[in-house]
């Protein structure tokens, strides 16, 4: 299954499941990253990692290994929209 | 004293020492929503504000009066939720549950209401004594976001007050709403502590269900109360794409830093010499006065040549650069640029087993390392936090900037024509910061591979929207808080240090003065690392505060052979180079020593309080000191081998 780490800048998807546990999971949930949330990859760090995602009107940076614990579905090209 | 306070407080409040006669108001909210701005506006105090999540990490308290009653206001650290298990959340949760506040004001960001509602809904499960402060309404308007406060009030069942805290808009209504809720009867529930306990006792699946339900509710409410038109934050995204791009990101970072240093050096020159002229004019008058009243020579010497000259030096050398450097840096902080730095550099920090948020705590260290150490609470992993604490020292603080700026100006910049001098000086300082950065990485790597083994933990960082800096407020707070604070600390310590230097220089043991004896004793060690006995003595005197290194050093030099007053950079060069044999190597080694050596005693005390460990406090003191000696030794010896500098 695809994860948030597979999302290219400008692409959008819906969160299906969080596979992380403990503090990481709590942190993600705090920021409103729960199943059903729409997420959009927005910005890549100059060194390629982390990536910042638009979530519920905020911009949240996640490292690739953390983003890879978030399963997503129907990510589609949406580069032109804001 | 503590007893009387305890007797006056409600049982639940005893822990927090809140007097019963005052109504207690807690300010809660996500990071960066304007809590501290509201706090400052209501109490007239100056809690640190800035556009990055996590700068308020301790509980600040103040009070205000309304209609004859006193309100005790508490600025809690920012939290996204009350349900996670980190220091910040704990402080906030503990206070909300056990501090028994009369009113909880939840400050929310009107531009991202949905996310903010999560915390509001959580707080509402603990207590109904809530006022929602719908802040940043100007930002919302600018971004085409409309929030229906009336509808929100209906949904939540508690007062909702739209505000623009920076312009004090809506604050009277906020205070009125607080007063109303504080006096509303029958709002106490006994069940609230249970709610929290139940959550932590629940199994993971049940927790997930609770979190999802809360956000579903937040979505529903936001859908009803928020209308967005146009393209929210388009400008932010464009700016972000430029500032964090591969080609421009890092050069811009360095250029901004260089620009601040250039402004500091170029701008401080004239006011510095004017101040010096003025202060030494006063010294002459004081001398005449002392002679007129027939004061004994030793008293005149102690007070004027010792204490007063020390103070005059600190003020004229430190005030102008600080008055430029701090506002300029605060400007960057207010803009929201710092989290972008953390975002851009995280990869590098991760490579050495540390955390990108260290970029933020390091920036805090620029102001004061003790504050930098406290700010490491934003780092969740204890291992990474300890690394951030130990390495914070490698970012030069308030107290060390004057030394660095002075050396960069007098020794490096002065060697070039004036037209490029300030640029060269600024470049030198950027180099110093870069070096501090590399040492930070090296030490972090070393710790990760040895005493603090472990893998990188999760990194979750919010990049706040860019905000228009509040110029006047920046000038006001950075001048008052930082500049005057530093100056005050320097003055308080420089006065006795000046006196001490005078005494040392004027009390003799055998055929040498005490000063000469100590300096002679320290001199061989000093020479070994490219410095001299006077400089080492200055660093010993400066253990409580780095601010006094330069004044102590100069005082010792001046008293050493009774020099007349010094008025300008040229004369300073004369004193150091001609009279005391300084070379560029001395200046370079002193800059290195200043950057690398042990933190001041205040910072060490803070480290002890934060880590609760004597061992790590000791490491934090000795590791930098060892590195400073080693690096200076290697540089001095290499330079001498190559025949550069004495
Ligand atoms: N435009 C605007 N900026 C605000 C407002 N309130 C606070 N700020 C700015 O938002 C940033 C964060 O404020 P601060 O009080 O430090 O937030 P805290 O983290 O909640 O304590 C600062 O740069 C403030 O100047 C507001 O109503 N409008
Ligand atoms: Mg704050």
Burial group, residue B540, by CB count within 10 angstroms (0-12, 13-18, 19+): exposed
How confident is chain B (646 residues) per 10-residue block, as mean pLDDT? 34 56 90 91 74 61 89 88 75 80 94 94 89 96 92 96 95 96 71 68 83 94 90 81 92 92 84 85 90 89 80 77 83 89 94 92 86 85 93 90 84 82 89 96 95 81 88 77 71 75 81 87 95 93 82 75 54 79 91 95 91 95 97 95 75
How many angstroms does the Cα of residue B47 sit away from the middle of ligand 2? Answer: 7
B383 interaction partners in chain A (CB closer than 8 Å) = none
Helix (H) or strand (E) holding B228: strand B226-228
Residue B275 shares a structural domain with residue B200: no
Contact (CB, 8 A) for B255 and B337? no
* In a domain? residue B461: no
How close is the Cα of B467 to the center of ligand 1, in Å? Answer: 8
Cβ pair B84:A23 closer than 8 A: yes
CB contact under 8 A, B344 and A45: yes
Residue B58: predicted pLDDT: 59
**Tokens (6 digits) for B540:** 């010993």
Ligand 1 pocket mutation, candidates B27, B170, B467, criterion most atoms within 8 A of CB: B467
Q: Are B215 and A34 a contacting pair at CB < 8 A?
A: yes
Q: Whose CA is nearest to atom 8 of ligand 1?
A: B34
Those of residues 16-45 in A touching chain B at CB distance below 8 A are: 20-21, 23-24, 26-32, 34-37, 42-45
Candidates A24, A45, A56; nearest CB to B244: A45
Distance CA A12, CA A40 (A): 4
Determine the Cα–Cα distance for residues B173 and B94; give it in Å rounded to an integer.
28
Rounded to a whole number of angstroms, the distance from the CA of B29 to the nearest CA of chain A is: 13
Beta bridge pairs of residue B63: B72
Ligand 1 atom 9: residue of nearest CA: B34
Tell me the count of A-B CB pairs closer than 8 A. Answer: 127
Q: B83: which chain A residues are within 8 Å (Cβ-Cβ)?
A: 26, 30
Mean pLDDT of chain A: 88
What is the spatial distance between Cα B530 and Cα B406, in angstroms, rounded to a whole number? 18
Of B83, B86, B462, the CB nearest to A58: B462
Alpha carbon of B153: minimum distance to chain A alpha carbons (Å): 21
Alpha-carbon span B340 to B328, nearest angstrom: 17
Contact B346 A46 (CB under 8 A): no
Ligand 1: residue whose CA is nearest its atom 7: B34
Q: Are residues B305 and B430 in the same domain?
A: yes
Residue B462 lies in a domain: no
CB B506 within 8 A of CB B513: yes
CA of B386 to the centre of ligand 1 (A): 29
**Residue carrying structure tokens 């880590």:** B611
The residue behind tokens 């005449």 is B288
- Contact indicator for B338, B257 with CB cutoff of 8 Å: no
Q: Exposed (0-12), middle (13-18) or buried (19+): which is B484, by Cβ within 10 Å?
A: middle
Whether residue A30 and residue B118 make contact (CB cut-off 8 A), yes or no, is yes
Give the minimum alpha-carbon distance from B87 to chain A in angstroms, rounded to a whole number: 12
pLDDT in tens, A35-69: 999 999 999 999 998 999 999 988 999 999 999 99
- Would you kindly state where each structural domain of chain A is located, as residue ranges? 4-81
Same domain as B285, residue B198: no
Rounded CA-CA distance B597/B624 in Å is 5
- CATH number assigned to the domain comprising residue B87: 3.40.50.300
Q: Which of B473 and A20 is assigned the larger pLDDT? A: A20
Chain A residues close to B80, C-beta within 8 Å: 30-31
Query: Does A56 touch chain B if contact means CB atoms closer than 8 Å?
Result: yes
Residue B302 shares a structural domain with residue B437: yes
CA atoms within 13 A of residue B118's CA, in its CB half-sphere = 25
Q: Of the candidates B232, B240, B347, which has its C-beta nearest A48's C-beta? A: B347
- Mark yes or no for CB contact B343/A45 under 8 Å: yes
* Residue ranges lining ligand 1, Cβ < 6 Å: B 29, 31-37, 49-51, 56, 78, 135-136, 138-139, 164-166, 334, 467, 470
Helical segments of A1-82, H only: 22-30, 64-67
Nearest-CA neighbor of A4 among A63, A79, A58? A63
Residue B24: beta bridge partners?
A: B72
Report if residue B465 sits inside a domain: no
CATH architecture group of domain A4-81: Roll (2.30)
Chain B CB within 8 Å of residue A5 CB? no
> Cα(B565)–Cα(B553) distance, rounded to whole angstroms?
14
Shortest CA distance from B211: residue in chain A: A29
Two structure tokens written together for B100 = 């028994």
Going from the Cα of B59 to the center of ligand 2, the distance in angstroms, rounded, reads 9
Asked if B111's CB is within 8 angstroms of A82's CB, the reply is: no
What the block records as the tokens of A63 is: 């490292």
B400 assigned to some structural domain: yes
Q: Work out the minimum CA distance from B416 to partner chain A, whole angstroms.
A: 35
Is residue B239 included in any domain, yes or no?
A: no
- Kindly state the helix (H) or strand (E) to which residue B104 belongs, with its residue range: strand B103-109
CA B31–ligand 2 middle distance (angstroms): 7
B535 assigned to some structural domain: yes
Asked whether the beta carbons of A75 and A6 are under 8 A apart, the reply is yes
Nearest CA in chain B to A63: B459
Q: Which residues of B598-620 are buried (b: 16+ CB within 10 A; e: fewer)?
A: bbbebbbebbbebbeeeebbebb
| Nearest residue of chain A to residue B356 (CA atoms) | A50
- Whether the CB-CB separation of B484 and B350 falls below 8 Å is answered with no
Beta strand B145-147 with B130-135 is unpaired
Q: What is the pLDDT of residue B17?
A: 62
Nearest CA in chain B to A60: B462
In this structure, the answer to whether residues B94 and B184 fall within a common structural domain is yes
Interface test with A, best of B123, B459, B464, B466 (most A CBs within 10 A): B459
Q: Do B347 and A37 touch (CB under 8 A)?
A: no
- Residue B168's pLDDT is 93
Phi and psi angles of residue A40, each rounded to the nearest 5 degrees, phi first? -135, 125
**B423: nearest Cα among B258, B252, B253, B250:** B258
**Is residue B513 a contact partner of residue B505, using CB atoms and an 8 Å limit?**
yes
Nearest CA in chain B to A17: B208
B560/B580 Cα distance (integer angstroms): 10
State the ligand closest to the CA atom of B107. Answer: 1
Same domain (yes/no): B139, B264: no
Q: Which residues of B touch A49 (CB under 8 A)?
A: 346-347, 350
φ and ψ at B516, to 5 degrees? -60, -40
* B29 Cα: distance to centroid of ligand 2 (angstroms): 9
- Residue B646 is predicted with a pLDDT of 53
Please tell me the residue having the least CA distance from ligand 1 atom 14: B34
Token readout for B265 is 């050096």
The alpha carbon of A58 and the centre of ligand 1 are apart by a number of angstroms equal to 15
Question: From atom 16 of ligand 1, which residue's Cα is the shortest distance away?
Answer: B49
Question: For chain B, how many structural domains are there in total?
Answer: 2
Q: Which residues of B touch A63 (CB under 8 A)?
A: 346, 350, 456, 458-459
Tell me the pLDDT band of A79, cut-offs 50, 70 and 90: very low
Are B299 and B351 within one domain?
Answer: yes
User: Is residue B356 located within the same domain as residue B502?
Assistant: yes
* DSSP category for residue B169: B
Q: Which two tokens stand for residue B510?
A: 């055998």
pLDDT at res. B562: 46
Q: A51 to chain B: which residues are within 8 Å by CB?
A: none
- Using an 8 Å Cβ cutoff, are B61 and B40 in contact? no
Query: Which residues in chain A are contacts of B204 at CB distance < 8 A?
Result: 21
* Burial class, B100, CB count within 10 angstroms (exposed 0-12 / middle 13-18 / buried 19+): buried
Residues B214 and B352 in one domain: no
Coil, strand or helix: which one is B293? coil
Measured CA to CA, the distance from residue A35 to residue A17 in angstroms comes to: 5
Interface check A79 vs B, CB under 8 A: no
Confirm whether B314 is domain-assigned.
yes
A63 close to B (CB below 8 A): yes
Please check whether residues B218 and B338 belong to one and the same domain: no
The residues that bridge with A15 in the sheet, in sequence order, are A72
Residue B203 belongs to domain spanning:
5-228
Is B413 within 8 Å of B265 (Cβ atoms)?
Answer: yes
Q: Specify whether the CB–CB gap between B317 and B402 falls below 8 A.
A: yes
Question: What is the chain A residue with the closest CA to B82?
Answer: A30
């Amino acid at each position: 299954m695809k994860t948030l780490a597979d999302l290219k800048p400008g692409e959008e998807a819906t969160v299906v499941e969080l596979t992380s546990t403990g503090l990481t999971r709590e942190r993600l949930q705090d920021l409103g990253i729960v199943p059903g949330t729409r997420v959009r990859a927005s910005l890549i760090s100059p060194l390629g990692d982390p990536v910042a995602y638009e979530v519920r009107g905020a911009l949240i940076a996640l490292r690739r290994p953390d983003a890879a614990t978030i399963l997503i579905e129907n990510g589609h090209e949406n580069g032109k929209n804001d | 004293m503590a007893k009387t306070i305890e007797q006056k407080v409600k049982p639940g409040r005893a822990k927090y020492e809140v007097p019963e006669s005052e109504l207690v108001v807690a300010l809660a909210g996500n990071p960066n929503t304007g809590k501290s701005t509201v706090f400052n506006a209501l109490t007239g105090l100056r809690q640190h504000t800035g556009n990055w999540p996590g700068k308020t990490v301790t509980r600040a308290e103040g009070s205000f009066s309304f209609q004859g009653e006193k309100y005790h206001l508490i600025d809690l650290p920012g939290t996204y939720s009350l349900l996670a298990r980190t220091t910040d959340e704990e402080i906030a949760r503990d206070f909300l549950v056990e501090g028994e506040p009369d009113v909880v004001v939840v400050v929310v960001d009107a531009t991202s209401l949905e996310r903010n509602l999560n915390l509001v809904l959580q707080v509402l499960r603990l207590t109904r004594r809530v006022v929602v402060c719908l802040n940043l309404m100007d930002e919302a308007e600018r971004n085409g976001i409309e929030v229906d406060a009336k509808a929100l009030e209906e949904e939540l069942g508690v007062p909702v007050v739209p505000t623009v805290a920076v312009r004090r808009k809506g604050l009277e209504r906020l205070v009125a709403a607080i007063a109303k809720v504080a006096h509303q009867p029958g709002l106490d529930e006994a069940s609230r502590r249970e709610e929290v306990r139940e959550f932590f006792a629940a199994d993971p699946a049940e927790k997930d269900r609770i979190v999802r339900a809360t956000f579903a509710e937040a979505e529903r409410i936001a859908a009803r109360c928020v209308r967005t038109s146009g393209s929210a934050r388009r400008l932010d995204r464009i700016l972000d794409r430029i500032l964090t791009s591969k080609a421009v990101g890092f050069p811009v970072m360095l250029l901004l830093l260089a620009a601040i240093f250039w402004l500091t050096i170029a701008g401080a020159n004239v006011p510095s010499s004017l101040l010096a002229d003025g202060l030494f004019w006063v010294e002459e008058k004081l001398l005449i006065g002392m002679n007129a009243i027939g004061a004994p020579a030793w008293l005149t010497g102690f007070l004027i040549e010792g204490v007063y000259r020390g103070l005059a030096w600190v003020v004229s050398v430190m005030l102008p650069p600080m008055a430029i450097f701090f506002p300029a840096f605060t400007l960057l902080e207010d803009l929201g640029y710092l989290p972008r730095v953390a975002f851009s550099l995280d990869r590098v920090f991760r490579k050495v087993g540390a955390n990108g948020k260290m970029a933020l705590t390091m920036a805090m260290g620029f102001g004061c390392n003790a504050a930098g150490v406290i700010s490491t609470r934003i780092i969740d992993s204890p291992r990474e936090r300890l690394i951030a604490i130990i390495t914070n020292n490698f970012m030069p603080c308030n107290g060390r900037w004057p030394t660095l700026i002075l050396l960069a100006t007098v020794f490096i910049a002065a060697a070039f024509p004036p037209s490029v001098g300030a640029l060269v000086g600024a470049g030198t300082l950027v180099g110093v910061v870069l070096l501090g950065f590399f040492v930070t990485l090296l030490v972090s790597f070393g710790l990760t591979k040895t005493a603090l083994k472990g893998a990188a933990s999760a990194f979750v960082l919010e990049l706040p929207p860019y905000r228009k800096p509040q110029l006047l407020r920046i000038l006001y707070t950075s001048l008052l808080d930082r500049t005057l604070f530093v100056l005050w600390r320097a003055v308080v310590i420089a006065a006795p240090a000046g006196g001490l230097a005078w005494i040392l220089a004027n009390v003799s043991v055998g055929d040498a003065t005490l000063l000469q004896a100590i300096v002679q004793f320290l001199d061989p060690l000093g020479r070994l690392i490219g410095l001299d006995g006077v400089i080492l003595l200055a660093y010993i005197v400066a253990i409580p505060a780095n601010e006094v290194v330069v004044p102590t050093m100069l005082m010792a030099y001046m008293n050493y052979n009774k020099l007349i007053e010094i008025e300008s950079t040229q004369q300073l060069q004369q004193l150091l180079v001609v009279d005391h044999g300084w070379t560029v190597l001395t200046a370079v080694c002193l800059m290195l020593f200043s950057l690398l050596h042990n933190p001041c005693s205040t910072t060490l005390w803070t480290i002890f309080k934060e880590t609760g460990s004597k061992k790590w406090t000791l490491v934090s003191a000795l590791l930098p000191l060892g590195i400073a000696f080693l690096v200076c030794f290697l540089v001095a010896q290499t330079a001498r081998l190559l025949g550069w500098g004495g």
